[in-house]
Amino acid sequence: MSDAPPVAARALVKRYGDIVAVDHVDLTVERGDVFGYLGPNGAGKTTSLRMLLGLIRPTSGTAQLFGRDPMLVGARALDGVAGFVEGPRFYPYLSARRNLELLADFDDDVPRSRIDEVLELVELRDRARDRFGRYSHGMRQRLGIAASLLRRPQLLLLDEPATGLDPGGMRDMRQLVRRLAGEGITILLSSHLLAEVEELCNRVAIIRSGRIVYEGRLDELLRSAGSSYRFVVGDAERARAVLLAQPGIEDVRTEGDGLRVHGDERAIGAASVALGQAQIEITALVPQTATLEELFLGMTEREAAA
């Protein structure tokens, strides 16, 4: 396997007439990443994945998997790569095991014992004889991952694997992705479920209207929001005026029954003293951590307004 990164897209563009679905996208997924590809529905995530896998031809730009371009070398570019786009598809009248056996028959390198291994991994071994058509949505998603794992891929691309799942199914999918990452598989996870991505991913890219508005480490993105604290006070209006007058306080917003205040620890300490001197009671002071959802909405809303 090449030393090139599992995914490297450069200036990737896809147009459909006057519509630009993907607009000069650059993506790099490194080995060992659980990489979250984020964006609202229609942002260009699935179109990007289709170009990465060679399912559709880019209008311009390049997409390489381990240094191989599907548009130049064809199916050989998919060696060591697996996954599904827009949901897995199987024969509904056949059992899960028989569906996997048919897939394994296309490749002489897949022993029958591997089918038992992947069914066990996705926790479907006890339901392997059931027809696929009787599977729940979550079971279908897990069988799709089982099929992707037959050839022991080094890169797994999953398009919205948790969409439509109930809370239990989402929990099971999180646990499965963690297990696969623990086995050394690089995972590119396309999703609009930001809380799921925040729990699973170490790096993310955010796409809005076909353009990347952020790519990098998730922890760095969360730190970029700066420090914020939640004050619950006896007189919110007076407290707001006092806080806004303090050096180092960057922003004060009403949030439920309290105030969300942005500033470093020193500024917050001085502001607390100022509130006491103004005889404004502080009933709670709680550090706040920015969520990925808050940052995502802030980025995409600013992008839309620009």
Q: What confidence tens digit (pLDDT) does each residue in 3-15 have?
A: 899 999 999 999 9
Give yes or no for residue 228 having a pLDDT over 70: yes
pTM above 0.85, yes or no: no
For the chain, what is the mean pLDDT?
88
The two tokens of residue 149 are 């794992």
Asked whether residue 290 carries a pLDDT value surpassing 90, the answer given is no
Question: What span, in angstroms and rounded, lies between the C-alpha atoms of 247 and 229?
Answer: 16
The helix, strand and coil proportions of the chain, stated in percent and rounded to the nearest 5, come to 40, 30, 35
**pLDDT bracket for residue 302 (50, 70, 90):** low
Round to whole Å and give the CA distance between 122 and 99: 15
**Torsion angle of C-alpha atoms 214, 218, 220, 223, degrees rounded to 10:** 110
Strand 81-84 with 155-159, pairing: parallel
> Regarding beta strands 258-262 and 251-255, do their DSSP bridges make them parallel or antiparallel, or are they unpaired?
antiparallel
> So where are the chain's domains?
7-222, 226-289
Q: Is 292 left (phi over 0), alpha (psi -120 to 50) or beta?
A: alpha
We find that the CATH architecture of domain 7-222 is: 3-Layer(aba) Sandwich (3.40)
Domain 226-289 has CATH 3.40.50.720: no
**Given this model, what pLDDT does residue 81 score?**
94
d(CA 69, CA 179): 29
Which of residues 263 and 296 earns the better pLDDT score? Answer: 263
Establish how many alpha carbons lie within 13 A of residue 146's alpha carbon, considering only the half-sphere containing its beta carbon. 30
The pLDDT of residue 2 is: 64
Tokens 């508005």, residue?
213
